[in-house]
Amino acid sequence: MAKVIVCKQADVQLGTMKAFAIENGLELVIANIENKFYAMNATCNHAQGPLAEGTLEGSIITCPWHGAKWDITKGSLVEFALDLDLEQTYETAVENGNVVVEV
């Protein structure tokens, strides 16, 4: 496990999410939910849809391609016609104004 700075705290406003590419080709979606930051793999496990281009309601991201609903706090699938594997989530922390993720 290594700590990686993903973005500045101010880059992801309250109630929003954004995708960030980090080392090793990983792309993460970072969501700011009640000023706590959550990190999850940014591509949908169904057909690789770009989750950060979907919508965020509470902790639920709806994939823009076929509507799968994911809970970013757990990586779990909340609603979809098919069973899908969990999305990978990552521990996050705020350090010196940066959002840091354990990868």
Tokens of 53: 């281009």
Size of the site for ligand FES (CB under 6 A): 9
Contact of 29 with 62, CB cutoff 8 Å:
no
> Is position 46 an interface residue for ligand FES (rule: CB under 6 A)?
yes
Which residues are within 8 A (CB) of 52 and not within 5 positions of it... i.e. 6 or more apart? Answer: 17, 18, 19, 29, 42
CB closer to ligand FES out of 46 and 92: 46
Write the burial class of residue 45 (CB in 10 Å: 0-12 exposed, 13-18 middle, 19+ buried). buried
In terms of CB distance, is 56 or 68 closer to ligand FES?
68
Binds ligand FES by CB under 6 A, chosen from 21, 47, 78, 94: 47
Cβ of residue 83: shortest distance to ligand FES, in angstroms?
Answer: 13
Note the residues at the interface with ligand FES (CB under 6 A). 44, 46-47, 49, 63, 65-68
